[in-house]
């Protein structure tokens, strides 16, 4: 891998992410710090797993909280509050259910569009580095996102370095301006 191609891919990826920030500044608030980003990734993982396999657990406040508490990412109350905010801002909406007690949610089309843009930007960056065709394949088969995002999210939660970063950067990534500084 040539350093020049990596640097160029990194610059282009940063530009794409900043463009998403400019188009949707309110929404970006939900991924601005590390904890919110992890909360959002976990919620989307549950959503996409259920979308591909209806026998998987639905995205509910309880299921999200259980997932996050097990991984020591957030308390039950933090998880519930975050999901309510995401629903308030129309990133998640009620999903059909026969069990009125469950209150399952699903990502809105808008939320899926935003995560697809994020995913596509990363795939294009990888393709620029090694001349791959990940992005093209994901455009042809939308389920690649549905399969990849939960795997990515679950791997993040299996590596403490992702959610317990070194002190040298912890303060930066745990602030709401952490991902917004260019």
**Higher-confidence residue: 119 or 174?**
119
- Domains annotated on the chain, with CATH: 20-108+145-163 (1.10.10)
Please tell me the predicted confidence (pLDDT) of residue 182.
38
Cα angle: 93, vertex 68, 96; to 5 degrees = 25
- Cβ proximity of 46 and 84 under 8 Å: no
pTM: 0.86
- Cβ proximity of 107 and 47 under 8 Å: yes
Mean pLDDT of 63-68: 87
Least confident of 3-7, 52-56, 74-78, 117-121: 3-7
Separation of alpha carbons 24 and 33, rounded Å:
16
Q: Is 165 left (phi over 0), alpha (psi -120 to 50) or beta?
A: beta
Q: How confident is the model at residue 181 (pLDDT cuts 50, 70, 90)?
A: very low
Please tell me the predicted confidence (pLDDT) of residue 94.
93
Please tell me the predicted confidence (pLDDT) of residue 72.
74
Q: How confident is the model at residue 138 (pLDDT cuts 50, 70, 90)?
A: very high
**Higher-confidence residue: 22 or 44?**
44
Here the tokens at position 130 are 């090694």
Range of 16-25, 27-36, 96-105, 144-153 with top mean pLDDT = 144-153
Mean pLDDT of 11-33: 79
Least confident of 88-97, 140-149, 171-180: 171-180
Please tell me the predicted confidence (pLDDT) of residue 110.
93
């Amino acid at each position: 891998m040539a350093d020049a191609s990596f640097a160029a891919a990194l610059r282009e990826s940063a530009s794409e992410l900043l463009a998403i920030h400019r188009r949707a500044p309110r929404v970006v608030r939900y991924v601005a710090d590390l904890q919110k980003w992890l909360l959002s990734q976990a919620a989307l993982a549950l959503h996409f797993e259920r979308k591909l396999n209806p026998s998987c657990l639905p995205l509910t406040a309880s299921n999200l909280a259980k997932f996050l508490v097990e991984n020591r990412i957030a308390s039950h109350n933090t998880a519930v509050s975050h999901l309510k905010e995401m629903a308030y801002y129309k990133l998640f909406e009620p999903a059909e259910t026969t069990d009125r007690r469950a209150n399952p949610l699903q990502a809105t089309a808008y939320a899926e569009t935003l995560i697809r843009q994020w995913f596509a930007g990363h795939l294009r960056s990888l393709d620029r580095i090694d001349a791959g065709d990940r992005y093209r394949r994901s455009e042809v088969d939308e389920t690649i996102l549905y399969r990849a995002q939960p795997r990515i999210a679950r791997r993040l939660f299996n590596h403490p370095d992702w959610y317990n970063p070194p002190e040298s950067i912890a303060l930066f990534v745990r602030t709401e301006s952490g991902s917004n500084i260019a």
